[in-house]
Structure 1
């Protein structure tokens, strides 16, 4: 039996028991110990309960570490930063200061307010990361699903960081996991009011903002994604970036779905895909 399947056989009963007792994300957090990492939780980057973030950092780092700001998915209507502690711990254990940020959701807000929140969180990281061992000169933005959309728009559309006194050039790169980058006309009934359908602005789409000189990208998707079509979104965006000479790495995994792609970052599910390895390699590559 191969090593991944031995690990699966050993860990699956425990994982199934945890999933039965609580939500899947809570289980992943419970089965993803902090290890040699520390966290500071509930820091405000703006006003209100949804403008807060948690910082995860390596315990014994040597010198300033790269910084990743992570935004979770949830179709812009749900999600909590605490549910994604496993992402913060995993990246911090690889030597990356990681910030997991909340942002306001519909119906409290709609497009583009959550992008202003995302940019504000990134600006906080640029300003404050050094306090937590981070190097603001090596700043990345990352997200999954709706969070990948947020990351893409912050990295590609100058408007949002400019409002914070920054530029997309202040980012060393960005990472998108199963992101929706081209979804007009909107078909999902939950998403329609978020983007003012049928009057959705065309420039709400990340593919409209690809230009030479935008930050390098790592785009990862699942072949089996039934929610965000990988070729139209990840594939098309990668093609547009390459056409403008923007460095991009495009990866597709065969053993994950839209949801388990981000879950594969957690220790119990890393046998599914090398998501953590590929993200860490992108952020920690020599010269980055």
Structure 2
């Protein structure tokens, strides 16, 4: 019965993606219970520099923290559309931060990374006020949001600007991320990275080093947007060559969009993304 409902919801979700918004649909069916949300916190002066904090209902100090960056080809997205991701993790005892950031055409690379770093810097300074432990800080993102998370985790310039280092992270999680995508084929993404003069230092794979934090990389076997072999498997291979702890998970039932959709309860049967992320965050390698 549950699986049948999930199949039905998947069909509705996929239909919505071709029309208005599957993300809005998932948000509309996400219960408002199971967490406490503190919304619209400013981490900068721009209207897009806002974040929401989701706390588990059970009172406990020192909970692990996940800062989540959504995808949208650096052209679109809103933190309110990912309440279902935050709820899935908050219900399992994780404090979650979902941050907006400036998008194209307002900004281009690397301004959105500067925003992401500011959001992480705010989290590191203030999350103790919300029951989170800044020493148990993880980054997570989907699609272009996974790119953002990887750049902060691998390229020290961005966190250094807010008084942090990649070593301050306990780990990071990438969901269907583009980590090696030059030359750029997607016409929506080309102007974001100054195509055809896209800088090589914009690529996460070019910032791999032996001191990188542990990582959990998750992808769909079949992804028509981001090639999992070039991006996920390619980054994993490069990280392992440097001795970095890497875990890879590939799933057959999901695609680029339903991979993140599987955090929502009707689609959870498609891939155990919530279980894998919770396991990784609660006991990362080397903990």
TM band (smaller chain): over 0.9
Matched position secondary structure for 2:163: coil
Which residue of the partner structure matches residue 201 of structure 2? Answer: 203
2:166 corresponds to 1:154: no
Match of 2:63 among 45, 62, 65: 65
1:232-263, CA deviations, whole angstroms, 9 ceiling, x for partnerless residues? 00001000111111101011011000000000
* C-alpha distance in 1 between matches for 2:260 and 2:6: 18
Matched position secondary structure for 1:235: helix
Give the Å deviation of 1:32. 2.1
Give the Å deviation of 1:29. 1.7
Matched position secondary structure for 1:213: coil
* C-alpha distance in 2 between matches for 1:16 and 1:249: 30
* C-alpha distance in 2 between matches for 1:125 and 1:44: 11
* C-alpha distance in 1 between matches for 2:133 and 2:32: 22
Unaligned runs of 5+ in 1: 1-5
Q: RMSD of the TM alignment (CA)?
A: 1.7
2:79 corresponds to 1:81: yes
Show the 5 A alignment for 1:158-173.
Answer: 158-173=156-171
Matched position secondary structure for 1:95: coil
Equivalent residues of 2:9, 2:266 under 8 A apart: no
2:185 corresponds to 1:187: yes
Give the Å deviation of 1:14. 6.5
Show the 5 A alignment for 1:1-288.
Answer: 6-11=1-6, 13=8, 23-285=21-283, 288=287
* C-alpha distance in 2 between matches for 1:202 and 1:175: 23
Matched position secondary structure for 1:135: strand
* C-alpha distance in 2 between matches for 1:236 and 1:245: 15
Unaligned runs of 5+ in 2: none
TM score, norm. by length of structure 2: 0.95
* C-alpha distance in 2 between matches for 1:99 and 1:253: 26
* C-alpha distance in 2 between matches for 1:22 and 1:112: 29
How many pairs are equivalent? 283
Give the Å deviation of 1:16. 6.1
* C-alpha distance in 1 between matches for 2:258 and 2:217: 16
TM score, norm. by length of structure 1: 0.94
Equivalent residues of 1:178, 1:258 under 8 A apart: yes
Equivalent residues of 1:32, 1:268 under 8 A apart: no
* C-alpha distance in 2 between matches for 1:281 and 1:14: 26
Moved over 2 A (4+): 10-23
Equivalent residues of 2:37, 2:52 under 8 A apart: yes
Equivalent residues of 2:150, 2:204 under 8 A apart: yes
Q: In structure 2, do the counterparts of structure 1 residues 13 and 176 end up closer, same or farther at CA, with 3 Å as the change threshold? A: closer
Equivalent residues of 2:10, 2:267 under 8 A apart: no
Matched position secondary structure for 2:190: helix
